[in-house]
Copies of this chain bind each other. A is one copy, B any other.
């Protein structure tokens, strides 16, 4: 155990903020905290998760293996995110795999406690419902982009997204995320070589700077126009 949920700021970002003080104390008492090193698996496809994870720090990738044997990343997670509610709600094994991209600190809240709160606290349930509705809307947008945009457009959009969401950590400091070229390819759904090639092209056109794994966007406007199809 590491710290109390009542004092943890991370919960402010997710549905746990809808819990009452008493519920939060109960959660705090039954939760476990876990360190997941870069590259380690938080949970895998087909696993019974039996609870939800609340991300305290670090970055993770959530993916699903496709028939052709390539992992497709369907979500990225960072501090404040809650993951596992879906499998929990439907009482199913996980259909996704979560791997740490950077070292992560996560709290695990057992299923029973979450289900109890869902039953007893309508505010909590509505909050989970709202979050799921937002996720579903985002998923629809991703489907449209995957279906209709070129790889180049998707890469441009993804670079902007990563800059917005993962360039700084919870304290606003510059964060060194460890997304590999393969990760980026698996986000946009293309071959690793294609992703690398396009990154080189963007670099040549001075849209971005490449410093090892760190990608700095230097021409937001051009990337944005590209992503939206100019």
Contacts and interface: CB of A to CB of B under 8 A. Distances in A.
Interface string A181-197: 00000001100000000
Contacts of A141: 64, 95
B139 A72 contact: no
A50 to B, nearest CB: 16
14 contacts: A66-B148, A66-B149, A67-B228, A72-B148, A86-B136, A89-B129, A89-B133, A90-B133, A90-B134, A118-B126, A122-B125, A136-B139, A142-B143, A148-B189
A52 to B, nearest CB: 12
Contacts of A146: 143, 146-147, 189
A85 B148 contact: no
A70 B148 contact: yes
Interface in A37-96: 64, 66-68, 70, 72, 74, 85-86, 89-90, 95-96
Contact of A67 (B140, B149, B189): B149
Q: Is the interface of A mostly helix, strand, loop or mixed?
A: helix
Contacts of A164: none
Interface of A: 64, 66-68, 70, 72, 74, 85-86, 89-90, 95-96, 118-119, 122, 125-126, 128-130, 132-137, 139-149, 188-189, 228-229
A177 to B, nearest CB: 21
Contact of A90 (B125, B130, B145, B148): B130
A119 B96 CA distance: 31
Nearest to A132: B132
B134 A136 contact: no
Contacts of A144: 64, 66, 72, 74
A130 B89 contact: yes
Among A86, A118, A122, A228, the one with the most B-chain Cβ atoms within 10 Å of its Cβ is A86
Contact of A133 (B68, B86, B149): B86
Contact of A137 (B95, B143, B148, B189): B95
